[in-house]
Structure 1
Amino acid sequence: MTRPDRRRPLLRLASALLTAGLLTGGPAHAGPAEDYIAAHAKALADVAAAAKAGKSDGELDALGAPLLKDLEKRMVALIGPIAFKGTQKKPIFMPSSLNAEYLESKEPDGLLFSGTNLTTRYFVSPEPVFTDWLAARAKEEDADPALRLGLKGAMGTEPFYFAVLGADAAFIKYMDLPVTAGEGESVTAALGLFTQSGQQNDPPSSIVFTRIGDGRVVVGTADLKATIKPLPACEKIWKEANAKATRLEDAAGKTRNDEDPRWKEAEQVREAGGDAFRACFVKAALSLPFFPGAVKRAEELVQAARGK
């Protein structure tokens, strides 16, 4: 899986150190997971120090490569043998960079198993390591409040799935899907879609799921694999909102004024129209033909996440 180059400078080095967990307190009782966390923090600090010393991105990548290899070796040992049907045998280790100028340095620590079409994905992480990553993300100034709810509070939210699986697309959740948790585990599943255009009148196309159990966190997504026919009542809501937003944009465009308040108003109208479309869809979903199959597929995905 080739990841796009998404370099963006971070505002402060401290943010990167928080992301790595470097500024958090050390564990009272060290174990393999805590050793990994400490090794990652040190690796990030080494690269950050080299960046501060003026090393180029190429030099930072060269410095980080063996450190990432070491972290990958530790992660594979922590997770142990695991595989998911329909995905590649050798997973991708995350994070894929230690350079704080790359967004990839903020990726969660774990192994990503992907299908050939990349729409089926299982991300696996030891629970202590994942919890440490989430806590570090929650401390960032621009962190979404949902990420500050702790693992079990955040696990079913849009920001959570975007942070773990989003890459270049935000996740929009339409509705939760009822899945049954086994003894000693927490599970959640939802219906939604990954998009770069924001909420419009797109029907949901993905199932996302999370399982916490057996010392692991598994977060994944797969195609819905169902055809959802347009709902006239919901389409009408969206079309009216979109038309109003377009009229506002046209009027604002004629002024050649980027500060015209109608630009912002158009954005708000379109966003509200998308939210209304989604609410309309969710209200109808329980009685639509696709819904029982979506619940069954979610249950199958959660079962696969159990690794049994």
Structure 2
Amino acid sequence: MRLVWTLLFALASGTALAASPEGDYIAARDKAISDIAALETSNAEVETLDAANSKALADLEGRLSAILGPLAVEGFPATGKINLESLSPADIGFGMLDGLRYAKSDEGPSIVATTRGLTERWLQSKANEEDESLKLPAGIGEALKLDAFYTQAIGSDAAFVKTLDFALKKPEGADIAIARLGGWTQDVGPIYNQQVVVAVVKGDRVLIAEAPATPPAPKIAACEALWTAADATAQKFQETYQGSDLKDQQAYDSANAAWEKGDADYRACMGERLPGDPIFPALLAEAQTLADHMAGK
């Protein structure tokens, strides 16, 4: 009899889990993705696809709003828009982290909020990616330390590249607090539009904030010189490239290698020298304030 009751309890628990708001959201999202894929296969008109995508995103936004409730972080609106940009794998913005983005403007600070459960589901899907370049660790703490997490979770058409990690004081009550300085790019080389990115995990909530570095990160002459020299070397290799034989391919590869090394050397230089710059305390304070507010201080 005990075995029967144990089995019934397990089945009931599984049913409750599957019928949870998060489970319902995932089911609705996956169905919408499948429905839009079917429309694409049937060569539906672009207007039909756009309408289906917009309707499904609005439904999912409502479900997430019910799960998350209003945001209560100083300086940010209480209501947000869905973080997903598309439900079609063919579109830029597909596969981003399930959550809501809160911002007063497109150019200002923003926060993407979600739950620990939705983050873990999303990371598990990334851990199972066949494309090695898209794989992420399944653990939240480990994933938040990687550029690739922010690229895939909150970016759509550019990659996040770290300049340095801030030494944060973990706010009281927070389980995880990570802050980094970096930027979005589609190429190698200096990124002058630096952003302060802060991730806080507290209880069931995962919050990821992004704000323009204030004051802007400075140009450091020694670091600029490293990139300028690498760029000049790469340009010389590129000048010999004609694209027709092995020698040309070697020149092409050498140019790319010079750019990539210059990019890595530049970022390492910035990470080493920026903490000694007079503006660094202000950047650290910006990151700490964001973390504190996200944790409810």
TM-score interval for Structure 1 and Structure 2 normalised by the shorter chain: 0.7 to 0.9
2:159 and 2:134 mapped to 1: Cα distance? 16
- Alignment equivalent of 1:211, drawn from 200, 203, 222: 200
Change in 2 beyond 3 A, CA 1:227/1:54: closer
Uncovered stretches (5+) of structure 1, i.e. residues with no partner: 1-25
Q: Which moved more, 1:167-176 or 1:221-230?
A: 221-230
Among candidates 282, 287, 296, match of residue 271 of structure 2: 282
Regions of 4+ moved over 4 Å: 83-90, 255-259
C-alpha deviation, 1:196, in angstroms: 2.4
**Are 1:107 and 2:96 matched, yes or no?**
yes
| Structure 2 contact 83–112 (Cα < 8 Å) conserved | no
| Deviation digits for residues 262-303 of structure 1 (CA, Å, limit 9, x no counterpart) | 112101101101111111222222222122111111011112
Structure 1 residues 79 and 252: CA distance shift in structure 2, 3 A: same
Contact 1:125 1:218 in 2 (8 A): yes
Normalised to the residue count of structure 1, the TM-score between the two structures is 0.81
Corresponding residue number in structure 2 for 1:197: 187
In the alignment, what sits opposite 2:105?
Answer: 116
Structure 2 residue 82 is the aligned partner of structure 1 residue 93: yes
Q: How far apart, in 1, do the equivalents of 2:32 and 2:67 lie?
A: 18
| Structure 2 partner of 1:29 | 17
Deviation (angstroms), 1:43: 2.4
Aligned to 1:131: 120
Evaluate the alpha carbon distance shift between residue 90 and residue 256 of structure 1 in structure 2; reply closer, same or farther with a 3 A threshold.
same
Distance (Å, rounded) in 2 between the aligned partners of 1:27 and 1:213: 27
Task: For 1:275 and 1:224, locate their aligned partners in 2 and report how far apart those are by CA, in whole Å.
Answer: 21
Task: Point out the structure with max Rg over C-alpha.
Answer: 2
**Structure 1 residues 58 and 228, CA gap change in structure 2 (3 angstroms):** closer
- Are 1:70 and 2:59 counterparts? yes
Q: What is the SS of the residue equivalent to 2:154?
A: helix
Q: TM-score, normalised on structure 2?
A: 0.84
Q: Deviations over 1:174-198 (max 9, x none)?
A: 1110112233511100111112222
CA distance in 2, matches of 1:221, 1:126: 18
1:176 aligns with 2:165: yes
Amino acid at match of 2:165: D
- In the alignment, the residues of structure 2 paired with residue 251 and residue 132 of structure 1 have an alpha-carbon distance, to the nearest angstrom, of 49
Does the CA contact (< 8 Å) of 1:87 and 1:114 recur in 2? Answer: yes
Partner of 1:306: 295
Deviates further, 104-113 or 79-88:
79-88
**1:173–1:190: 8 Å Cα contact kept in structure 2?**
yes
Structure 1 residues 44-81: Cα deviation after superposition (integer angstroms, max 9, x where no partner):
22333343344344323333443332221111010001
The 5 A counterparts of 1:245-260 are 245-253=234-242, 260=249
Match of 1:158? Answer: 147
Deviation digits for residues 139-185 of structure 1 (CA, Å, limit 9, x no counterpart)? 22224376124221111211111112222221110111011223351
CA contact (8 A) 2:174 2:295 kept: no
The gaps in structure 2 that reach 5 residues or longer are: 1-13
Whether the aligned pair in 1 keeps the contact of 2:178 and 2:198 (CA below 8 Å) is yes
**Alpha-carbon distance in structure 1 between the residues aligned to 2:111 and 2:117:** 18
